[in-house]
Amino acid sequence: MAKLTKRLIDGLEPKSSDYFEWDDELPGFGVRVWPTGRKVYVAQYRAGVRTRRVKVGTHGPLTVEEARREAKGILGDVARGEDPQEDRVTRRKSLTVSQLCDNYLQAAERGLIMGKGGKAKKASTLYTDRGRIDRHIRPLLGNKLVRDMTQADVARFIRDVASGKTAVVEKTDRKRGKAIVEGGTGTAARTAGLLGGILSFAVSEGVIPFNPATGVKRPADNRRQRRLTADEYKALGKALAAAEADAETAQGIKGAWLLALTGCRLGEVENLKWAEVDDDGGCFRLEDSKEGASVRPIGRPVFDVLATIEREKENPFVLTALRGEGAFGGMPGAWRRIVKRAELEGVTPHTLRHSYASVAGDLGFTESTIAAMLGHAAGSVTSRYVHHLDSVLIAAADKVARTIHGMMTGAEGKVVQLPNRKPKA
């Protein structure tokens, strides 16, 4: 035996059957190596004449020192006469869906829940998850025991969310934030996906033997299928031109232009900083996108939009808050007002992203080029330290931006003057 370290555990090779490696510093603390190569930290102790073993966590998401502290707490409970394994069994039997959601979020915040690409979920994703849990899952299923969940419960949950049973307008913890919680099949599909992930977590924790969401049919998420036609782009352009007369914020108007001409995600535009804008390189060097650091080729019309935005001293963001410091938080509300004026039903910021990709496809660009322009994991340029993007990518982004701008203004290749920023109140 030796003290368990990351180097030692990383070097443990799988065998034909599982085996244990024990720590000589903390008796009862060890790691179990499975034939698949999976390594799980455990805490082992005696309860009467029986030997009990408690799972602490998986090596990788959990560091050896984090696991050691957790095991030390478990073994400390044993020293005080408690039986952690028995306590866990009791808690599992009485665990509600709401309590399971709490456990899931705590694990996710510690980086123990993997998202797409095997990476820990980002803070922005967790913010969305927490909203769906609090606004849909807890109200409909929160008091139900996890062990009593059935496929029928999951199917009923999907129907209730789709029919708008949980629809509400409420304040959020963001500055002057307001959430308009709607129903619909898209909301139901995405929330059901999260519920399935939470129940998979329950299976991995030994709370239930199988996932009751498995096999339950989810409605199609039409959000990703909607794209703007040329006439709809024209309507959006007219709505943006008229929005200033209706006292729409300059941040909202210019934010909408940036969404349309870049294909960026809403959060990427909301949190865009001047330091990330590389005019000479023809790109945005995003520090923290959904896929991590990402370099995006950007067309000249985008830089023309940016040129109309006045930089504010002491504020790093391109779209600044109406009052105080920080980023503009009113983009969702501004967007709703703009699309209402344009009479574009069901058009979201994500629709602009999908439409950007569709226009690029119409222009004949390859999937890998489109993926790079959008920052998709499969094709994104992920290094912030790439000094020069391929000129082909920049030319592609420029052509897409000019095409979209032309449809919105009826003057392809020209950029109309956008409204100057309104002074702060």
* Of 211, 207, 231, 204, the residue nearest 94 (C-alpha): 207
Confidence of residue 378 (pLDDT cuts 50, 70, 90): low
The SS3 assignment for 228 reads coil
Q: Which helix (H) or strand (E) holds 292?
A: strand 292-297
CATH class of 97-223: mainly alpha
Contact (Cβ atoms closer than 8 angstroms) between residue 394 and residue 358: no
**Confidence at residue 173, expressed as pLDDT on a 0 to 100 scale:** 56
Give the tens place of pLDDT for each residue, 273-282: 999 999 999 9
The alpha carbon torsion through 264, 106, 177, 290 (nearest 10 deg) reads 0
Residue 139: is it exposed, middle or buried by C-beta count within 10 angstroms (0-12/13-18/19+)? middle
Give the chain's mean pLDDT: 86
6-90: CATH, from 3.30.160.390, 3.90.1420.10, 2.40.37.10, 3.30.420.80: 3.30.160.390
Residues of the chain with CATH 3.30.160.390: 6-90
Of residues 225 and 250, the one with the higher pLDDT is 250
As a whole number of angstroms, the longest Cα–Cα distance in the chain is 84
The architecture CATH gives domain 230-409: Orthogonal Bundle (1.10)
Confidence of residue 113 (pLDDT cuts 50, 70, 90): confident
Mean pLDDT of 306-332: 92
**Confidence at residue 242, expressed as pLDDT on a 0 to 100 scale:** 92
| Residue labelled with tokens 């456990």 | 103
Beta bridge mates, 317 = 273
Residues of the chain with CATH 1.10.150.130: 97-223
Give the tens place of pLDDT for each residue, 161-207: 999 888 765 565 555 555 555 668 888 999 999 999 999 999 988 88
d(CA 17, CA 9): 17
Residues of the chain with CATH 1.10.443.10: 230-409
Confidence of residue 120 (pLDDT cuts 50, 70, 90): confident
Is the pLDDT at 243 greater than 60? The verdict is: yes
**Confidence at residue 416, expressed as pLDDT on a 0 to 100 scale:** 40
